[in-house]
A and B are shown apart, each in its own frame.
Chain A
Amino acid sequence: MSTTASPMPKVRLRQVTKAFGDHVVLDSVDLDVAAGSVTALIGPSGAGKSTLLRCINLLERPDTGEIVVNGEVLRVQEGITARELAQLRRSVGMVFQSFNLFPHLSVLRNITLPQERILGRSKEEARDRAHALLERVGLSGKAAAFPGRLSGGQQQRIAIARALALDPEVMLFDEPTSALDPELGLEVLAVMRELAADGMTMIVVTHEMQFAQDVSDQLVVMADGRIIESGDPALIMRDPQHERTRQFLSAVRDR
């Protein structure tokens, strides 16, 4: 996958720590994500992958650490203003495991409402953007449908379109295909591959090893709240350095 190497990483995390009571979920994590690259986050459950992802757009608030997205620096200890938060959320889009489409709104409205309310776009502009994105994810005919009537794969693709409509700089994916049957998952992964090819900076928490190997530029392995290995996906898959990585990969392969 080609990337444009940037002097400044698009996303940078420094010393991000989070604990729930006594349980340390993230232990001083550092991470760099280059612009236009795809980072896959893998590891056993409870490793803290989702929590780390959710710290990037502050759906989880870390206890300490620094989060830099697109040059904007946020230091948790110094407090985060509402304006900084709004800006962060505008730069970062997120796709959830359970899609989280708004069931009381049509597919079109799911995509136009955020544009109107958050970016202040006009109704026409929002609608045009929405249709363009629906076409891009292969669901142009579904604009008037309601989420409840659609398959999981269709819902997830619309969720991707909804996030893209706000023109984010970075897209976060939290186990986007874990709730889907394999065939439906493939449609979603196809959309994600295209997104990557178009140069979107993506961070993906996933169990799809094939996808991770094929599409990602950086593979990050987490366990017990720490990054235990990171680097070239093919290299790590072939020859993992860490014992836990080896265990995890062989367990995944055996399924």
Chain B
Amino acid sequence: MIIEWLPALASGLLLSLQIAGMALLIGVPLGLVFASLVMSRWKAVRIAAIIVVEIGRGAPALVVLQLVYYGLPSAGITFDSMTSAWVALSLTTAAFTSEILRAGIQSVHVGQPEAAHALGFTALDSFWFIVLPQAMRIALPPLLGFAIQIFQATSLAFTIAVPELLSRAYSIGSSSFRYLEVLAVAGLLYAVISIPIGWFVARLEKRLSAHLA
């Protein structure tokens, strides 16, 4: 019986992964932009960026999803459910990762950009070649941890009619009335991806702290 469910669940899982992937692909570079704005020299830019980031982090992902799908149409912007899903999750990703990246960037030893500037690197080159690579190493564990969270958050796209994993499980459940079993299988599918990445993150963190110690 369970075997019959797998194709539908697998295609749902694929969709969940796609949404998460897109959210990260767009959200992380956007987060880098916001991190730079938050660290800007100009106070007005800094404050505006901090406000946007805090709103992005303070609003629950479910609210952002529904705002984009149900709310934006009244402002004239209508996205289909799939698009709404990755737009909303990209925004959430950008807000959270901007803080992760900012912390990473600021933890790079100040002597690094100093040496780069003394040599004559432009500010952009200094950031791109010297500071950012080191910041990314530090930021990688929390970024991966967040990636797991975003992947799990795709389950919320169920509420905006995206046929992702949970949605598939629920419809199988309502037609077969075997909710517990199909939800358990769906849960395991989420876990099979989240848990190994979580172990990897734990190993990375251990290696990183040993390296810095």
Contacts and interface: CB of A to CB of B under 8 A. Distances in A.
Nearest to B137: A104
B115 interface: yes
Contacts of A98: 109, 111
Nearest to A119: B120
Contact of B120 (A86, A96, A102): A86
Interface stretch (B36-44, B72-80, B127-135, B170-178): B127-135
A100 B120 contact: no
Contact of A113 (B111, B112, B114, B129): B129
B119 interface: yes
A46 interface: no
A103 B115 CA distance: 12
A37 interface: no
A187 to B, nearest CB: 20
Contacts of A118: 119-121, 125
A117 to B, nearest CB: 5
Nearest to B134: A104
B134 A96 contact: no
A75 to B, nearest CB: 21
A90 interface: yes
Contacts, number: 54
Contacts of A113: 129
A96 B115 contact: yes
Contact of A100 (B115, B121, B125, B133): B115
Interface in A115-168: 117-118, 159, 162-163, 166
Interface centre among B109, B120, B134 (most CB of A within 10 A): B120
Interface residues of A, number: 23
Contacts of A94: 115, 118-119
Nearest to A91: B120
A166 B120 contact: yes
Among A59, A90, A98, A103, find the residue whose CB has the most chain B CB atoms closer than 10 A: A103
B119 A114 contact: yes
Contacts of B133: 104
Contacts of B109: 98, 100
A57 interface: yes
A92 B115 CA distance: 12
Contacts of A102: 112, 115-116, 130
A159 B120 CA distance: 14
Most buried by B among A98, A102, A113, A163: A102
A57 B121 contact: no
Given A100-B112, A100-B114, A113-B129, A89 B134 contact: no
Given A103-B134, A104-B134, A104-B137, A89 B111 contact: no
A162 B121 CA distance: 13
B114 A96 contact: yes
A147 to B, nearest CB: 11
B190 to A, nearest CB: 34
A227 B111 CA distance: 27
B138 to A, nearest CB: 11
B207 interface: no
Contacts of B129: 113, 117
A100 B116 CA distance: 9
Contacts of A114: 119-121
A128 to B, nearest CB: 19
Given A59-B117, A98-B111, A118-B121, 13 more contacts: A89-B120, A90-B120, A94-B119, A96-B115, A100-B111, A102-B115, A103-B134, A113-B129, A114-B119, A114-B121, A117-B125, A118-B119, A166-B120
5 contacts: A100-B112, A102-B130, A114-B120, A117-B121, A118-B119
Interface of B: 109, 111-112, 114-122, 125, 129-130, 133-134, 137
Interface of A: 57, 59, 86, 89-90, 92-94, 96, 98, 100-104, 113-114, 117-118, 159, 162-163, 166
10 A-B pairs closest in CB distance: A100-B115, A89-B120, A100-B111, A94-B118, A118-B120, A114-B119, A104-B133, A90-B120, A98-B111, A117-B125
